[in-house]
Amino acid sequence: MRDVDLDIAHGERVLLLGPSGGGKSTLLAALAGLLADSGEQAGEITVDGLPPADARSRVGILFQDPETQLVMRRAGDDVAFGLENRGVPAERIWPRVRAALERVGFGYPLDRDTASLSGGEQQRLALAGVLALEPSLLLLDEPTANLDPDGAALVRQTLDRSLRGDRATLVLVEHRVAEALPLVDRVVALSPGGGVLADGPPDEVLRRHGDALAALGVWVPDAEPVPRRTRPTAPPGPMLLTARQLGYRYPDSPAPTRSAPERSAPALAGVDAEVGAGEAVAVRGPNGAGKSTLALLLGGLLPPSSGAVVASTALAGRYAGRPPHRWRAAVLAERIGSVFQNPEHQFLAATVHDELALGPRRAGHPAADVAKTVDDLLERLHLAHLAEANPHTLSGGERRRLSVATALAAAPRVVILDEPTFGQDLRTWTELLDLLSGLRDDGTAVVAVTHDADFVAALADRCLDLERPA
């Protein structure tokens, strides 16, 4: 981020847009006075005429990840934490805690264990903790990006409920514009090259700069629906993976007892599934239906508690007699690739290039082939300019593309992805869609666990709908 000139008046409610990795979060952290003296800094920021570090008590900020915002075990204590830090007298703390919880619509008692709340409820509680401090400038940094759709809907509803009619100044970062519009009266878009691309009332900015914003990856409302990537008319290839009556129970979950029957519920029970070459299957279902568990079972990463995953000879070759979870890791990676929800879990190397070379090297491919595979993937996933970068320093979209590329490096015939489009901007979303439909058209089986209805509509040939096990 550079050369940004911006004046925000008291009471203005601003939606801040910009390219992924373009410094929106950095700007919010700077406004909140939380930027350490690292990195190159130029220019000046003031809040109410003061340096942000001196105006800290007037500013509240809500981050993406609810898990690392909650401090205390009991919900009420967590809201009280900020008030204690500000030295609010004890007798005034609890009325303010109750008022803040009431304002966000938190329906649990004060001693509710924060670890037992869903992500959406945790984020709602974190908002109460910020609002209890009555900030005159409220900063929201993609508050729904780390939540599942139910949680995101809950938090949006909470923001709507607690911020409508509020007099505080608001700066919101959110790339799903349609959902942010009811909360704001001004839109500012940062330009990828530095400076401000557009600034003004939402309608006007979206009318005049809609296409430019979409090119930055912003989900502009009422844009044309993404055309469906249809499968070529060729019939589906041979069956690759079959699951019969598949079930999974966590190893440490206690046996059913009369006092705690719900704790003994399996993660997954009695699921039949099959995946053929050249088809894209979407796995859908509510939270707790075991979608991620199914992905791990099909991916040969967890041993099923009941039923079996069978790999056909077309997929497994001479390993067909054994279930995938008993294959050696290198054998598995060449046949079934898995992409985890959090890309960082899968990174093992110090550079993007080595990350991509790791799979084929371990599979014993000759050096020339490895180099070719890596170059090809760098090109296809637009990562060539980052070949020598550390995977952990990439932006969210780049990390996601790299994690998919690492799974593809060993050229598996089945690729299983857990929420690949989660929290991605429009640009990464479209790139992933093109990549996966291309793989499918070339005969790879694509299985995607997803909540994303647009993604399902654009890609899936078939849906597998899971229900919460009884």
Partner 1 sequence: MRTLAPLGDTSAPLARRDPVAKLAAMMVLTIALLAAVDPVTPAAALAAELALVPLFGVRYRALLRRSGTLLVSVAGIAVTQLLFGTSDSGPVLLDAGPLVVTAGVATTALGLALRIVAVALPGLVVVATTDPTDLADSLTQHLRVPARFAIGALAAFRLVPLLAAEWELLTLARRARGVDAGGNPVAYVRLVVSTAFALLVGAIRRGTRLATAMDARGFDSHVPRSVARPRRFTAADAAMIAGAVGIAAAAIGTSVATGAFRPLM
CB of 30 to partner 1, least distance (A): 12
Contact with partner 1 (CB under 8 A): which of 20, 25, 146, 406?
406
Q: Contact between 345 and partner 1 (CB under 8 A)?
A: yes
Q: What are phi and psi of 315, to 5 degrees?
A: -90, -45
Measured from the Cβ of residue 133, the count of other Cβ atoms closer than 10 Å reads 19
Q: Positive or negative CA dihedral for 117, 120, 124, 127? A: positive
- Asked whether 173 and 144 are in contact (CB, 8 A), the reply is no
Q: Which of 26, 81, 274, 456 binds partner 1 (CB under 8 A)?
A: 81
391 binds partner 1, rule: CB under 8 A: no
In the shown chain, the binding pattern of residues 423 to 452 toward partner 1, with x for contact by CB under 8 A and - for none, equals: ------------------------------
**In sequence order, which ranges of 89-145 are alpha helices (DSSP H)?**
90-104, 119-131
Instruction: Compute φ and ψ for 251, nearest 5 degrees.
Output: -60, -35
Among 20, 69, 123, 450, binds partner 1 (CB under 8 A): 69
Q: Is 42 buried (19+), middle (13-18) or exposed (0-12) by CB count in 10 A?
A: exposed
List 14, 16, 100, 332, residue binding partner 1 (CB under 8 A)? 332
- Paired residues of 273 in beta bridges: 243
> Could you tell me whether strands 59-62 and 280-284 are parallel, antiparallel, or unpaired per DSSP bridges?
unpaired
> Does 299 participate in binding partner 1 (rule CB under 8 A)?
yes
Half-sphere exposure of 19 (CA within 13 A, CB side): 15
Listing from the earlier edge strand, what are the strands of the sheet with 268-276? 268-276, 239-248, 306-311
**Counting contacts by CB under 8 A, is residue 160 touching partner 1?**
no
Nearer to partner 1, 130 or 426 (CB): 130
| Among 346, 351, 395, 430, interactor with partner 1 by CB under 8 A | 346
Is 94 an interacting residue with respect to partner 1 (CB under 8 A)? yes
Coil, helix or strand at residue 259: coil
Does residue 57 bind partner 1 (CB under 8 A)?
Answer: yes
Q: Given candidates 337, 391, 396, 469, which one binds partner 1 under the rule CB under 8 A?
A: 337
- Residue 27: name the closest of 11, 9, 10, 8 by CA: 8
Min dist CB 362 to partner 1, Å, is 5
If the CB atoms of residues 50 and 457 are measured against partner 1, the closer one turns out to be 50
Region near partner 1 per CB under 8 A, out of 117-125, 306-314, 332-340, 425-433? 332-340
Which range in 78-86, 101-109, 205-213, 460-468 contacts partner 1 by CB under 8 A?
78-86
Judged by CB under 8 A, which of 340, 422, 429, 455 binds partner 1?
340
- Please, which residue, 132 or 189, has the CB nearer to partner 1? 132
Residue-wise DSSP of 235-251: PP--EEEEEEEEEE--T
Q: Which of 8, 23, 77, 148 binds partner 1 (CB under 8 A)?
A: 77
130 contributes a contact to partner 1 by CB under 8 A? yes
State yes or no: residue 260 binds partner 1 (CB under 8 A): no
Alpha-carbon distance of 282 to 295, in angstroms, equals 11
Q: Which of 18, 19, 52, 129 binds partner 1 (CB under 8 A)?
A: 129
**Binding residues for partner 1, how many (CB under 8 A)?**
65
Q: Is-contact 150 182, C-beta < 8 A?
A: no
CB 435 within 8 A of CB 380: yes
310 contacts: CB under 8 Å, gap ≥ 6: 241, 242, 243, 244, 323
Q: Interface with partner 1 by CB under 8 A: which range of 7-15, 192-200, 298-306, 311-319? A: 298-306
Binding residue (CB under 8 A) for partner 1 from 144, 338, 437, 444: 338
Q: Map the footprint of partner 1 across residues 108-127, applying CB under 8 A.
A: 114-115, 126
The answer to whether 301 contacts partner 1 (rule: CB under 8 A) is: yes
Considering only 260, 329, 453, 457, the residue that binds partner 1 (CB under 8 A) is 329
Nearer to partner 1, 350 or 457 (CB): 350
98, 43 Cβ separation under 8 angstroms: no
**DSSP run (H or E) holding 298:** helix 291-298
Q: Are 60 and 170 in contact (CB under 8 A)?
A: no
Buried-exposed string 221-230: b where 16+ CB fall within 10 A, e elsewhere = eebeeeeebe
Q: Strand 196-200 relative to strand 186-190: parallel, antiparallel, unpaired?
A: antiparallel
CB of 117 to partner 1, least distance (A): 12
Nearer to partner 1, 101 or 189 (CB): 101
Binding site for partner 1 (CB under 8 A): 29, 32, 34, 56-57, 59-61, 63, 65, 67-74, 77, 80-90, 93-94, 97, 114-115, 126, 129-130, 133, 296, 299, 301-302, 328-330, 332-334, 337-338, 340, 342, 344-346, 348, 358-359, 362-363, 392, 406-407, 410
